[in-house]
Amino acid sequence: MTDNSAITPFWQFSLHFYKQTGVSDACITLQDGSGVDVNLLLYLFWLASKGRLLSADEVKNLDAKVKSWRELTIIPIRDVRRKLKGAVTLLDPVKQEAFRDKVKAVELGAEQLQQEALYEFTKSSALGREALPKDAANSNVVAYARAIGKSFPKPAFDALIGGFERAIQGDF
């Protein structure tokens, strides 16, 4: 359920970056273990690909901007999707899985709307300072961890940085 009008350079980067080896697993690990907003994390990597390095305060402000949307839509929809997986209910399992697929599409649509809003925010506000993309990526992830008061597991951090390096070798 992706709306073609919402295909932004950020969304395109996210799709490309997320499919890099180890990135999706690292994102889910950080989401489930540290409360990371994956869309915000992807945004920080996209900004890094543009040579933008953010402070922990800037990341904290961004997190505050997306918090209401995340809590109102993405988290509850994700919870429903996850609860439906393999749940024993009155429904035929095939029909239940088909319904779960619809919920998954709605979840993806909510994430795409968040990314579109972040992209639009970029157009109206200068974020961070200039830096080399790899330096910005490292610093942005560290800034995110500081902003939410967590420490990210090294294997997840390394998988993200490795995936970023592979992703930016293309046109991003």
Spell out the per-residue pLDDT of the chain, length 172, in tens: 445 556 899 999 999 999 999 999 999 999 999 999 999 999 999 999 999 999 999 999 999 999 999 999 999 999 999 999 989 999 999 999 999 999 999 999 999 999 999 999 998 878 899 999 999 999 999 999 999 999 999 999 999 999 999 999 865 5
Q: Give pLDDT, residue 171.
A: 54
Q: Give pLDDT, residue 125.
A: 79
Alpha-carbon distance of 58 to 90, in angstroms, equals 48
Alpha-carbon distance of 160 to 23, in angstroms, equals 5
**Locus of tokens 């979840």:** 107
Alpha-carbon distance of 50 to 152, in angstroms, equals 23
Q: Give pLDDT, residue 126.
A: 80
pTM of the model: 0.92
Q: Give pLDDT, residue 170.
A: 66
Q: Give pLDDT, residue 2.
A: 47
Domain boundaries, the chain: 7-167
**CA neighbor of 46 nearest in space, from 129, 136, 108:** 136
Q: Token pair for residue 44?
A: 């920080």
Q: Give pLDDT, residue 59.
A: 97
Dihedral of the CA atoms 118, 119, 125, 126 (nearest 10)?
Answer: 110
Q: Give pLDDT, residue 124.
A: 85
Q: Give pLDDT, residue 71.
A: 97
